[in-house]
Amino acid sequence: MPLKRKKELEAIRSKIKKACKGNTAFRDSQPVFGEGPVPCRLMIIGEAPGRDETRLGRPFVGKAGSFFVSIIEEAFGKKREEVYITNVVKVWPKLPTKRLKTRKPLKEEEEFFIPFLKEEIKAVRPKVILAVGRTAFAAIAPEKEFAPGRWAEAEGLMVMPVYHPSYLLRRQKSLKESLRALKKSLREVKKRLEA
């Protein structure tokens, strides 16, 4: 079974590469694909790769991503390789400034990649999805309100929305309180995974 799922993921990746080459907005972009075991009970979905993720070709390896992964590893007692991690948008949304700053993905970019994300979810077959940030949550549960720490159901899957780590890191004054809330949400996820 896992081999079949891996082949499904490879097929999805090929489709994404081909679609990006055929789209002028993404033609020169380097897609960053999800990684982790398949099937996997826990799937973590973020917004989009940034500079470090694009350079290394891996999701959640920049400052905010690494910070978040360390919290995940501590909360679940698992290494990052034991969970499946991906993003809604597979290319770095950047501003054409001298240093190429990261920007929020455009609605059109999200819509372009959501069908691929849905295929990816089917291949991974998670029991729980951890939606990291509003963009990730809206991609999975567009009709629901983004309420970090509160369970939502979307297409038969249980989804736990949490704040994006870069948002938490920007709010240093309330970081301790935000981390407490995040860890509480992760305990809820762990309980559901173990049920």
pLDDT means per 10 residues, the chain with 195 residues, are 80 93 84 95 96 93 93 94 96 81 89 96 96 96 95 94 90 87 95 92
H-type alpha helices, the chain:
2-21, 51-56, 63-76, 107-124, 134-140, 165-170, 175-194
Beta bridge partners of 129: 43, 159
| Pairwise CA distance, residues 116 & 127, whole Å | 19
pLDDT at 4: 80
56 φ, ψ (degrees, to nearest 5): -95, -15
Q: First vs last Cα of the chain: how many Å apart?
A: 23
pLDDT at 46: 96
C-beta of residue 124 within 8 angstroms of C-beta of residue 154: no
Domains contained in the chain, CATH given? 2-194 (3.40.470.10)
pLDDT at 40: 95
pLDDT at 49: 95
pLDDT at 98: 75
* Max Cα distance, the chain (Å): 50
Lateral strand order in the sheet of 152-154:
84-87, 42-46, 128-132, 157-162, 152-154
In 10 A of CB 72, how many CB atoms? Answer: 22
pLDDT at 171: 83
Quote helix, strand, coil % in the chain, to nearest 5. Answer: 50, 15, 35
C-beta of residue 159 within 8 angstroms of C-beta of residue 127: no
- The three-class DSSP label of residue 104 is coil
| Pairwise CA distance, residues 127 & 187, whole Å | 15
